[in-house]
């Protein structure tokens, strides 16, 4: 199945139209069309090598698709990795990507500065100082919203892994994105941390933000997502609600015995 563009009255937050990615002779994504509705959480699942990371990379502009196009809120969208925040798109990375020599607060502020016009001001002009104070205040609020304000002054590499994951999430959320891309956020987390992550992810659409969740952790995807897309060998083999995906024999086949419901 490929076409499932639904509500024609309002454009989806993100539309992927016929996305194909080839690496030499290998087709990593094969004409994938998928809508991410506004204010919804959409999971992308699939076995190893299915094309999940490749899809994420296309949405982030790491490389352009070989064929196909993207739209953001109905406008043609050519993502550029260094301009994503300004497009209203934020992401977390599998490897966290925090600056080890910076505090938790400074790491979050870096996420804001990436989206602002001048980046962080290095000259301590009065206006610049005020602006930096505002950025720091917003960053602190982002940390507090995730319950980790108490770690603001700690160097990020001294923090427990679960807290670092939250710092990375705060850095993505601080820019108030309209599209949040989460790349395997549950990787390396304990069961309790994953439950907490699930409740955090569920709050994101409250601000109208859409979420794309690329994740191996099937339980988390089933738990938090409004809709789920399943890739297998680069093809979109299923798209639907968690209940529909859990009952889809093609999905069960793709996972070869891995329990999905
Ligand atoms: N830069 C690249 N050059 C060549 N082949 C690549 C490249 N990136 C990915 N591939 C291939 O494309 C296919 C899809 O890979 P991708 O990493 O997107 O899958 P995935 O679903 O994210 O897998 P995993 O769950 O193991 O991370 C695989 O066969 C992979 O080997």
Look at the chain and report how many structural domains it folds into.
Answer: 2
Please tell me the residue having the least CA distance from ligand 1 atom 17: 53
- In this predicted model, what pLDDT tens digit does every residue of 128-145 receive, in sequence order? 667 777 788 889 998 998
The ipTM (two decimal places) reads: 0.96
Residue with the smallest CA separation from ligand 1 atom 10 is 28
Comparing 178 with 9, the larger pLDDT belongs to: 178
Please say if the pLDDT value at position 82 is more than 50.
yes
Q: Are residues 66 and 188 in the same domain?
A: yes
Q: Which range of residues forms the domain containing residue 128?
A: 101-176
Strands 67-72 and 14-23: antiparallel
Q: What is the CATH number of the domain that holds 12?
A: 3.40.50.300
Question: Mean pLDDT score of the chain, rounded to an integer?
Answer: 86
Stated as kind and residue range, the H or E segment containing 71 is: strand 67-72
Percent residues over pLDDT 70 in the chain: 87
Residue 75 is predicted with a pLDDT of: 94
Per-residue pLDDT tens over the stretch 187-213: 888 898 899 899 889 988 877 899 999
Please give the distance of CA 132 from its chain centroid, rounded to a whole number: 26
How high is the pLDDT of residue 189?
86
Residue owning the nearest CA to atom 4 of ligand 1:
23
Task: Return all residues near 57 (Cβ < 8 A) that are at least 6 apart.
Answer: 63
**Are 165 and 216 found together in one domain?**
no
* 58 and 120 both lie in a single domain: no
**Digit-coded pLDDT (tens) for 83-107:** 888 899 998 877 678 888 899 999 9
Per-residue model confidence (pLDDT) at position 21: 98
Query: 233 alpha carbon to ligand 1 midpoint, in Å?
Result: 10
H helices of 49-101, in order, are: 52-60
CA distance 214 to 209: 16
Residues 154 and 217 in one domain: no
Whether residue 151 is found in the same domain as residue 121: yes
177 lines ligand 1 (CB under 6 A): no
CA–CA gap between residue 102 and residue 112 (Å, rounded): 15
Mean pLDDT of 214-219: 90
Whether residues 66 and 116 fall in one domain: no
* Residue 206 and residue 172 in one domain: no
Q: Assign 59 a pLDDT band (cuts: 50, 70, 90).
A: very high
pLDDT at residue 126, as a whole number:
58
């Amino acid at each position: 199945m490929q076409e499932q563009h639904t509500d024609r009255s309002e454009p989806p937050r993100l539309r992927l139209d016929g996305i194909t990615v080839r690496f030499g002779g290998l087709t990593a994504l094969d004409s994938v069309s998928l809508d991410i509705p506004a204010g919804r959480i959409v999971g992308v699942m699939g076995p190893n090598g299915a094309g999940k990371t490749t899809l994420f990379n296309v949405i982030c502009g790491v490389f352009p698709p070989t064929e196909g196009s993207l739209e953001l809120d109905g406008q043609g969208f050519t993502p550029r990795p260094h301009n994503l925040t300004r497009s209203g798109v934020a992401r977390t990375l599998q490897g966290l990507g925090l600056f080890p020599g910076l505090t938790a607060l400074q790491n979050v502020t870096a996420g804001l500065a990436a989206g602002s016009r001048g980046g962080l001001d290095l000259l301590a002009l009065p206006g610049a100082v005020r602006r930096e104070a505002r950025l720091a205040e917003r960053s602190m609020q982002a940390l507090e919203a995730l319950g980790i304000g108490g770690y603001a002054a700690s160097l990020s590499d001294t923090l427990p892994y679960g807290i670092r994951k939250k710092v990375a999430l705060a850095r993505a959320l601080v820019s108030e994105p309209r599209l949040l891309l989460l790349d395997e956020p549950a990787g390396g987390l304990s069961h309790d941390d994953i439950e907490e992550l699930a409740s955090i992810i569920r709050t994101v659409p409250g601000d109208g933000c859409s979420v794309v969740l690329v994740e191996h952790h099937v339980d988390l995807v089933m738990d938090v997502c409004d809709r789920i897309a399943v890739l297998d060998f680069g093809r979109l083999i299923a798209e639907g609600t968690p209940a529909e995906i859990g009952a889809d024999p093609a999905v069960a086949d793709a996972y070869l015995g891995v329990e999905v419901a």
